[in-house]
Amino acid sequence: MLEIWGRNPLQGNVKISGAKNSALVLMAGSLLCPKDCRLRNVPSLVDISRMSQILTSLGVKLTKNGDVLDIDARDINPTAAPYDIVSQLRASFFAVGPLLARFGTVKIPLPGGCDIGARPVKLHIQGLQAMGASVLIESGIVHADVKGSNRRLQGAKIYLDYPSVGATETLLMAATLAEGETTIENAAQEPEIVDLANFCIAMGAKIYGAGTNKITIVGVDRLHSVDYAVIPDRIEAGTFLVAGAITHSEITVSSAIADHLVPVIAKLEAIGCRIINEGENCLRLIPGELKATDIETLPYPGFPTDMQAQFMALLCFSEGNSVISETVFENRLRHVAELQRMGANIRLKGNHALIQGVPFLSGAPVMSTDLRASAALILAGLAAQGKTIVRGLHHLDRGYEDIENKLRKLGARIERVTESN
């Protein structure tokens, strides 16, 4: 568990790690390539270790040295992914697109639900079917095959009912090796999509329009070796900016791309802080008097659902009434009950949280309910009076590299302790 003594001012600079959600999909994307792939700026996280285990079970050879990950997917078996690891990591489903594109067949257990909602994969599967795959789900396992002599997926026109990040990534990867041209309309536009497209382009793929809502992919016969650096983690950067705001501290975050943080910066400014872009991917947060604002989560470039919990912690301290509407996931407000334990004044109405700012929160024992909720509870603890104890750190360790050391270097009083029974 983490013990946090609140109300210590922070100062200094924090360096942001590589993006978890990019690194995970790039690791899967390396399955497209029967040559050496080198990924740089890969964070050390439990989710990355799980993805490594899944790739290893397929026969991939992996070597990690610091933040450099070498991937050799020459000799692999597209049907060998084991249920016990796949079920622990939803991103494991990313392997479907590349394996089907390269081998014409794949077998992988369904990822199942998770702590923030059901998270279906219907859009991924419908898109693969449009590209000529036959997909059968039996006993919780997805079997996908491409018929025909060359077993190649065929380019197709695909319209996504919703701009799903995962479906866009699956179909983009699948289309790189398909025969002919694929268009994905109503595609997700997240920076991680652009990163994946750039990674595939660096391997020789032909992709146009990533970062807009229409992506065109012209299939190629094969991809080649690549050496590629993952983008910085915009959610980690946003979380540290909120840490500055909530503790009224001036801090800088380096290795953060301002363009990826536009909605987060806009909301921090609406709440009363200033963000100065110091160039070279460095942002300075100047704290201000915190005031209420309304937030609605949306697909990019809307406000990210992955920053919703952290902003809720901040709005608990902001003067006036705020409304947070969670529109992306159906079960992503469970941190409300934990913040209430600390004295927050929040009412839930469906997917809306009505927050009335209070002058202070009190430290309390709290339980993380998912990855970003755990960050929100740490942020609340940094600003609360007294000691907060955050349990359920397996969520936190999935997605924040070394967070307590990074916070401690900024001046926070935070310790990881092992509970004795």
Bind-site residues for UDP-N-acetyl-alpha-D-glucosamine: 90, 306, 328
Instruction: Name the residue nearer to ligand UD1 (CB basis): 249 or 306.
Output: 306
Examine residue 166 and tell whether it contacts ligand UD1 (CB under 6 A). yes
Q: Rounded to 5 degrees, what are φ and ψ at 325? A: -115, 120
Return the residue of 233, 236, 306, 326 that touches ligand UD1, per CB under 6 A.
306
Q: Which two tokens stand for residue 314?
A: 């901040």
Q: Measured between alpha carbons, how far is residue 5 from residues 114, 127, 192, 378, 411 in Å?
A: 31, 49, 35, 10, 11
Handedness of CA 360, 12, 389, 309 (dihedral sign): positive
126 to 145, contacts with ligand UD1 by CB under 6 A? none
CB of 200 to ligand UD1, least distance (A): 16
**Which DSSP helix (H) or strand (E) runs through 296?**
strand 295-296
Count of all residues that appear for the chain in the document: 421
Rounded CA separation 387/139 (Å): 47
Q: Is 162 in the site for ligand UD1 (CB under 6 A)?
A: yes
The token pair that represents 312 in the structure block: 């809720």
Size of the site for ligand UD1 (CB under 6 A): 23
The answer to whether 230 and 26 are in contact (CB under 8 A) is yes
Chain positions 179 to 218 lying near ligand UD1, rule: CB under 6 A, are 188, 192
- Known binding residues for phosphoenolpyruvate are 20-21
Cα angle 54, 68, 114; round to 5 = 35
Between 42 and 251, name the residue whose CB sits nearer to ligand UD1: 42
| CB 267, min distance to ligand UD1, A | 16
> Contact letters (x/-) for ligand UD1, 69-108, by CB under 6 A?
----------------------x-----------------
How far apart are CB 279 and ligand UD1 at their closest, in Å? 28
Interface with ligand UD1 by CB under 6 A: which range of 4-12, 95-103, 112-120, 407-415? 112-120
Q: How far is the CB of 90 from ligand UD1 (least distance, A)?
A: 6
Instruction: Give just the sign of the alpha carbon dihedral 399, 401, 407, 413.
Output: positive
Half-sphere exposure of 368 (CA within 13 A, CB side): 24
What strand order describes the sheet that includes 345-349? 295-296, 321-325, 352-356, 345-349
CB of 196 to ligand UD1, least distance (A): 10
Residues at the contact surface with ligand UD1, assessed by CB under 6 A: 21, 24, 91, 117-124, 162, 164-167, 188, 192, 304-306, 328-329
